[in-house]
Each structure stands twice: as structure tokens, then as C-alpha cells.
Structure 1
Amino acid sequence: MNPPALTQKTIRVGLIGWGGSSQVFHGPLIMSTPGLDLVAVVSSRPEAVRAALGPGMPVEPDARAILARDDVDLVVIPTPNDSHHPLALAALQAGRAVVVDKPFTLNAAQAEELIAEARQRGLLLSVFHNRRWDGDMLTAQALVQSGQLGRMVHAQMHFDRFRPVVRTRWRDADGPGAGLWMDLGPHLLDQAMQLFGRPVAIAADLVAARDGAQATDLFHARLRWASGLRADLHGSALSALPGPRFALHGTRGSWVKWGLDRQEDALKAGQKPDAAHPQAWGHDPAVGRLAVLAPDALTDAAPMEQDWPTAPGRYPDFYAGIRDALRGLAPNPVPAPQALDVMRLLDLGTQSAAERRELPVPDAALT
């Protein structure tokens, strides 16, 4: 049951931090969601917050101050990865609902502790796995569910960038929660499980490839399913010519899509979703390529090839779902146990890379 404060018409939100994730994703999406009211932001740079959000936006110096306010129902935590667990735990202990950016925590044990705390207190706990609402991901889901590709046998999922210069920042440092496996790995692992369910094994290779690299900036992970399906997940900071964002291959055909979802670029450019005109958001003009057998064709026939439009991306669905879940009208859009599944695969991938072998995914690990 939701605490009484969260059943009111407007959900009051406190945002911890004003870094890139808050500026690009959380701030604009919260403020463009009807029924959510951003009431305070934690930042050491109040002038930057007010320049972006308006001169009247309350700015608090630290998380303790925002948790001491009596007008905050939901706490959003898009802070450095090693702070997710302590900040989320403090917010839950203060009786607040919580959204944590990905990765959920540094490891599965921390995630389990937060889930237990939220359950004990009857509080919503969710993780911002926004890439579930990428247009290409939504297109991939529709194709897999339709059966047009037949039985799935192989998938490739790339998240490639070209950033050859190592920047001085926590994401590229030799510290807990740093590196590309913890940054982009959660997106790809979550998408793979949303598409295909729980794998039975994982083999990962994690590399610090750039000159001067201190953390993983190149990874390749292979997931294996009992059906025989393999999925290769690849992330790199040294891909001037990126691989396909998605390539799905089945017994009746294939679909390939190049290029990243456009919503992040739109948000960076200052565009915001408009709840009154949702159809205007998330358009991706880059089509995929679909080659499939006709429904009544034999498997040795030539597949029919065509452009395949990409579904509109829907990042606004996450915070609309959080609002509705807090009002008791809909399920949590990303239940914390699903994010725990991702953390367990991240842990196994790190272990696999260290031991240079495929590791089984225990049945009990992803329940």
C-alpha cells in the first residue's frame, strides 16, 4: 500500500544532484510529466540550477536537507554510482519513494539490501532503465513478439561511441562503479532480458583499451539461453564506425537497425516532451532493414527485404508510470527486482572476465 502522502493529486519530487544525467534526463522529464512537481534540487551550484529551472527553484546543499523537507514524496538519485546505495537507503529510511539511476547499485548485495528496506516499509523503489523506451528497442520487442523472425538464434546489440581521449571524471577513473561495463552494460543487459528472458550463462571480456585508460572502455559479453539463442552485447569508446545498434536473426528472417535512439540528443538540444502532443516526441527517421520469409513460404525460399520503420521512442512513459504507480493506478514501470537481475549479471560478467570463462547464471539468481 502506498503511504497516504503519495496518493494525492500531485507527486512532489526532490532531485539529488545537478550533473549531466539530471540536466539531460531527469529534470526535463520530471518537469514535463503532468502530476509531478519538482520542488527542490540538491546542488553545490545553485546558480546553475536556477538558470536552467527558474529563479524560484529551491536548491538544497545536501541530501540530508532534502530529506528533512516535509514536501518531498519521491526522491530521485542520478548521482555517481558509488553513492546510489547510501543515498537510496537514507531516502527509504526517511519514508520516501525512490528512483535510482542505473546502475542500481555497485553490486547485487547492495541492491538486495535496498529491496528489503523498501519492502519492509511499503515504499516504491524503481530504477531508471530508460532504454526500455528507445524506439529501436520498442521495434525489436514488437518484432520478437510477432514471431515474424521465427525462432530467435542470434542477436547483436551495440552501444558504440568514439571518445579516444580519456577525460578526468569519475566515470573514467579507477574507482568503484566506474567504466563502460557499469555505464552501458546495464542498458544492454536489461534490454536483452526484456527481449528474451533469463539467460543460462554469460561470458564477458572487459578491457581498458584507450591510451591512459584506467577503467573498462571496451566490453563484449555473450549471453546464452537454453533455447540455443546467443546474444552478443558490445560497448566501446573506440568505435569511429559503430556496429549495428540491433541485429536480430531468426529461423525466418533478420532485422538490423543502425544508429542510436534520438531522444537523448533531443533532450540535450533543449527539446522537451509535450504531454498534450505525445505523438510529436521520439521520432526516429532512421529505418531498419527487415528480411523475412513470406508467412506461407518454405524455409529455402528467398526472404522478402524491405525498410522497416522505427517506432517512436517514449522516455516520458517512465515518469508517467512512476506517477501512476504511486497513485496506485499502475505497476512500477521498472520494479527493483528486475534491476537486481541486471546487477547480478553485471557481477557475473565481472567475475567471468577475471576468470576468463563462461559462468552459469544460477536459477535462483534472477527470480
Structure 2
Amino acid sequence: MQQIKTALLSYGMSGKVFHSPFLNLHSGFELIGAWERNRLKIQQDYPYAKSYSSLDRLLEDDIDLIIVNTPVNTHFEYTKKALLAGKHVLVEKAFTTNAVEAQELNVLAKARGLKLAVFQNRRWDSDFKTVKAVYNQGILGDIVEAEFHFDRYNPILSPKTHKETPNAGAGVLKDLGPHIIDQALHLFGFPQAVFADIRITREHSVVDDWIDITLYYSNFSARLKAGFFVREAIPSYVLHGKKGSFLKPRGDVQEDHLKAGLKPNTSHWGNEAKENEGILHTEKEGVVIREKVPTQSGNYYDFFDAMYHSIVYNKPEPVTAEEGIKVMRIIDAAILSNAEKKVVSL
């Protein structure tokens, strides 16, 4: 099996939790190492891995794929350098700080025949996979309205200074926002217009931490919300159609299990608790039903497997740069809408 030599641009939480366990699990990837600026930690988990002292040294090495998992405001610079060095790139969300940057990277990757993908791993969450399956059945009828939430209760500012210091990549709009924006576009396509309300709600915060974005389609609207003052969560996914409704709480266990040190696998990974099953209330063959829907298993391994096939067999990226550009266009429109307090046509 051909192996893709892969390196990370940091080995903090994302490198340790979201990337390296799946690179290690998939036999098609070889984890070469990570760029580590201060503490050298990757060898504690992977003794064979290298720790690079600079980005230039990493890019000079025999590496096929670079994972850009650094702060958002560095994504454009580091991704461009990796592409210019002839490397395939997987970049975390938010893809860049704006759509113009994203488009430039896409053009560069295409010109050099390189793969460029965005790590929108939440498409492979158990809860969203279940929502997608119900929606695709058409059992709800024509959608009238949808609402996606990524809510938490955490009034304390993050100790990560890049998240709490004003910069082009900071704030919940470019942190949690890309997850639910991408999920909405993945289900419903690109909207006709956007309206957004973006606020600061935490004491002493200087970056946005609450968003309410409405995507307008021809026959319905989708509302996307995220914030840090939701102690009692409502369903994270709400779909209302002309035949019925589906409500699903957020319940994917992968992040918590990975943080706890559990190792992913391909057989029984990502199974939610039964109490988090969604409620389907609709009509089947003239009979009104209200029942629980078994939750599908989540597995980020499938993203990395698709990334492998993209590079080795020239298949489409699991989340393409074009899809990443669309998310950035929504974010750009949301910022403009909030500033001018108006609906922005796309």
C-alpha cells in the first residue's frame, strides 16, 4: 500500500486529538513529524516522529502532505508556502480569514496539480450523519425551516491568546461558525442571501462569542447559532418540513473519547448514547408516526480515508477548496451584514 508521508504544523490539542490518532490508524499514512516551537511533545506519543524547529526545515524534508493546524490567521501564509514547496495540504477550519485568500490558494493548488482540502470533520459526526440520512430520505417533505446550533456553557475566556486577542482569525464566527455553516451548505446548497447578528457576550471578551446567522433559500431559511451561555441545551438540529419534523441533540462522542486517550478504530468507534437519539414526527403512507431514530456511528477515519484516495487515486478531496471558499463567502457576508445591519445578497 502506498504511504503518504505526512507532517503537522503543530502538536497541540488538534494535532494530538484530531489528526495523529487517525494518521496512525490508517495504514496509508506515515506520520513523519510536527513543527514544535516550544515544548517537544510528539515523540512522547510517537517515538519515531521528528520534531522540526522551523517551517522551512519541515518543508525541505521528504513529505507529501502538510496539515495546517495552526491559528486561523496563519492558514493563508502557511498553506501558500506548503503549496509552493510542492506539498499537498489539508488545512483546518476556518479555511482562511476571508474568501479572497481562499480563492487564491485554490488557484495555486490547481495550477500546481496539488490536492487542497479543508478539515470539516464535523460532517463525519454521528449526529450530523443521522440528520443527513433523515433529510435525504425526503420523509419530512419540502423543508420549511431549519435550525443548527453549536452551543456551549463556558463564560471563561480561553487561555489560548490567539483565540481571545483581536485578529483576523479570532472569534466564534471563525471557530464554531464554519462547522454549522459547512453542514448547512452540505445539506441545502448555497443560499441566495445572508443576515447575521454577531455579538460579544462574555465579560472582558474582546472577540465575538455569539452568532445568529440566517441563510435564505428560495422556499425556506436556515438559522445557524453558536454561543457560550447555553447551560440547558435545546436540540442542536431542528428540521421542519411540510410532512413532519426531526429534532436531534448534539451527541457525537469522538472528541471526548479522543481527549480521554481512547484510540479510534474502524469497527465500533463513535457510537452515541441511546438517550441522544433524535425524534422523528412525520407521516408515512398516510399514518402519522412519532419515533426515535437510531443514531449512525461517527468516524473521522472516513475523512482521512477519503483524503488518502484523493491523493493516491486522484479522487475528489473529502471537502474541497471550492466548498471551503463557499463557507468563507458566507462568513464574509455575515461580517458585512452585521456591520451594516442588512440582508446581504450573494
After TM superposition, the score normalised by the length of structure 2 is 0.96
SS in 2 for 1:164: coil
Aligned match for 1:352, one of 329, 337, 341: 337
1:207 pairs with 2:195? no
Aligned match for 1:89, one of 47, 62, 80: 80
Give the CA deviation at 1:296.
2.8
Rounded to whole Å, the distance in 2 between the matches of 1:236 and 1:205 is 12
Please name the residue that 1:161 is paired with: 152
Give the CA deviation at 1:329.
5.5
Deviations 1:31-59 (A, max 9, x none): 111210001211024532222222x3210
Rounded to whole Å, the distance in 2 between the matches of 1:243 and 1:205 is 20
Give the CA deviation at 1:260.
3.4
Rounded to whole Å, the distance in 2 between the matches of 1:242 and 1:53 is 38
Gaps of 5+ in 2: none
SS in 2 for 1:17: coil
Please name the residue that 1:75 is paired with: 66
Aligned residue type for 2:325: L
SS in 2 for 1:293: strand
Please name the residue that 2:6 is paired with: 13
Q: Is the 8 A contact 2:131 2:248 kept in 1?
A: no
Deviations 1:6-51 (A, max 9, x none): xx71110011111221121011121111210001211024532222
Rounded to whole Å, the distance in 2 between the matches of 1:150 and 1:134 is 24
Give the CA deviation at 1:175.
1.5
Aligned match for 1:239, one of 219, 225, 230: 230
1:225 pairs with 2:214? no
Please name the residue that 1:44 is paired with: 37
Please name the residue that 1:282 is paired with: 270
Q: Is the 8 A contact 1:46 1:59 kept in 2?
A: no
Q: In the TM superposition, what are the counterparts of 1:205-354 in structure 2 within 5 Å?
A: 205-226=197-218, 228-274=219-265, 278-285=266-273, 286-297=276-287, 303-328=288-313, 330-354=315-339
SS in 1 for 2:313: coil
Rounded to whole Å, the distance in 2 between the matches of 1:233 and 1:178 is 18
Rounded to whole Å, the distance in 1 between the matches of 2:182 and 2:40 is 36
Aligned residue type for 1:307: K
Q: Is the 8 A contact 2:35 2:54 kept in 1?
A: yes
Aligned match for 1:117, one of 102, 108, 112: 108
Aligned match for 2:119, one of 128, 133, 140: 128
1:138 pairs with 2:129? yes
1:28 pairs with 2:16? no
1:178 pairs with 2:170? yes
Gaps of 5+ in 1: 1-7, 298-302, 362-367
Rounded to whole Å, the distance in 2 between the matches of 1:174 and 1:240 is 26
Rounded to whole Å, the distance in 1 between the matches of 2:30 and 2:223 is 40
Q: Is the 8 A contact 2:5 2:30 kept in 1?
A: yes
Tell me how large the CA RMSD over aligned residues is.
Answer: 1.3
Rounded to whole Å, the distance in 2 between the matches of 1:125 and 1:167 is 30
Q: Is the 8 A contact 1:263 1:313 kept in 2?
A: yes
Q: Is the 8 A contact 2:214 2:223 kept in 1?
A: yes
Aligned residue type for 1:346: I
Q: Is the 8 A contact 1:156 1:244 kept in 2?
A: no
Q: Is the 8 A contact 2:127 2:250 kept in 1?
A: no
Q: Is the 8 A contact 2:277 2:295 kept in 1?
A: yes
Rounded to whole Å, the distance in 2 between the matches of 1:162 and 1:46 is 30
Give the CA deviation at 1:101.
0.4
Aligned residue type for 2:295: T
Rounded to whole Å, the distance in 2 between the matches of 1:119 and 1:161 is 38
Percent pairwise identity? 34
Q: Is the 8 A contact 2:245 2:280 kept in 1?
A: yes
Matched length: 343
Rounded to whole Å, the distance in 2 between the matches of 1:295 and 1:140 is 21
Q: Is the 8 A contact 2:40 2:51 kept in 1?
A: no
Q: Which moved more, 1:308-317 or 1:163-172?
A: 163-172
